[in-house]
């Protein structure tokens, strides 16, 4: 993706988030230079990979298959492993109209996916086989606003603003916006986007970036290079 396109997506996302009554934390608006100057104090943010995230899954067509994310907070895997401490994470996502976030599951992360505002959120669901692999013929059960909801393989559940579902490891899911763009909240156990996204198709989680302009803000995928 071109950096200029990423900058535009960030600006549009910030406007949509504000439209729905949310405001991102102060570090979201640091320039790359301000982030570098604050890096020693913000090491916890860097280690937890909190911040901006824009992906086209390496496909090169963001409007067709892509996702905007902002990680607001993220716990520590060590705390999760010992069963105490900061074991949670929170994100905001924007799924544009008919923009696919492709079929995937997680090995560790359980997550609540909440329609925070906008259009309809559509989630396509499949179950797993006994090894946790994608099972084309298996359904399962998810919790929708705390109520058990059986689903058939490939069923597409629809969620209006305020509605949500809980996904457990092994629940295979893809999602998109229907009828417009959707602001999505995600509340989960500790999140590791580098190792805990298992896609059905052989695709990438992060995008290759063409540096045609300077970044407005750093992406979490920039931290290793820009803040080294």
pLDDT at 224: 93
Range of the domain at 20: 3-226
CA dihedral (183, 185, 190, 191) in degrees, to 10, reads -10
3-state SS assignment for residue 102: strand
Q: Is the pLDDT of residue 204 over 90?
A: no
Phi, psi angles (nearest 5°) of residue 227: -110, 10
pLDDT at 206: 78
Among the residue ranges 29-43, 94-108, 183-197, the one predicted with the least confidence is 183-197
Q: How many domains does the chain have?
A: 1
User: In this structure, are residues 188 and 182 in contact, taking their beta carbons and an 8 Å threshold?
Assistant: no
Between residues 208 and 12, the one the model is more confident about? 12
> pTM (2 decimals)?
0.95
Banded pLDDT at 27 (limits 50, 70, 90): very high
Banded pLDDT at 25 (limits 50, 70, 90): very high
Beta carbons within 8 Å of 228's beta carbon, 6+ residues apart: none
First-to-last C-alpha distance (Å) of the chain? 22
pLDDT at 35: 97
Q: Which of 201, 48, 171, 193 is nearest to 110 (CA)?
A: 171
What digits encode the pLDDT tens for the residues 211-224? 999 999 999 999 99
Q: How does the average pLDDT of the chain come out, rounded?
A: 96
User: In this structure, are residues 119 and 215 in contact, taking their beta carbons and an 8 Å threshold?
Assistant: no
- List the CATH number of the domain containing 213: 2.60.120.10
Taking the C-alpha atoms of residue 27 and residue 42, their distance in angstroms, rounded to an integer, is 9
Taking the C-alpha atoms of residue 96 and residue 175, their distance in angstroms, rounded to an integer, is 10
């Amino acid at each position: 993706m071109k950096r200029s396109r990423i900058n535009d997506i960030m600006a549009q996302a910030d406007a949509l988030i504000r439209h729905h009554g949310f405001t991102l934390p102060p570090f979201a608006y640091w320039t790359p230079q301000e982030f570098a100057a604050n890096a020693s104090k913000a090491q916890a943010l860097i280690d937890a990979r909190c911040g901006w995230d824009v992906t086209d899954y390496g496909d090169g067509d963001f409007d067709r298959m892509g996702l905007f994310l902002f990680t607001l907070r993220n716990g520590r895997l060590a705390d999760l492993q010992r069963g105490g401490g900061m074991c949670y994470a929170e994100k905001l996502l924007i799924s544009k109209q008919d923009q696919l976030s492709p079929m995937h599951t997680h090995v560790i992360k359980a997550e609540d996916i909440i329609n925070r505002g906008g259009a309809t959120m559509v989630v396509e669901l499949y179950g797993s086989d006994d090894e946790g692999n994608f099972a084309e013929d298996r359904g399962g059960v998810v919790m929708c606003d705390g109520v058990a909801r059986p689903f058939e393989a490939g069923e597409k559940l629809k969620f209006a603003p305020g509605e949500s579902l809980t996904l457990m490891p092994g629940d295979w899911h893809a999602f998109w916006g229907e009828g417009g763009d959707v602001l999505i909240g995600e509340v989960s156990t500790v999140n590791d986007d580098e190792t805990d996204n298992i896609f059905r198709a052989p695709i990438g989680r992060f995008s290759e970036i063409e540096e045609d302009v300077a970044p407005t803000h750093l992406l979490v995928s920039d931290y290793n290079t820009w803040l080294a």
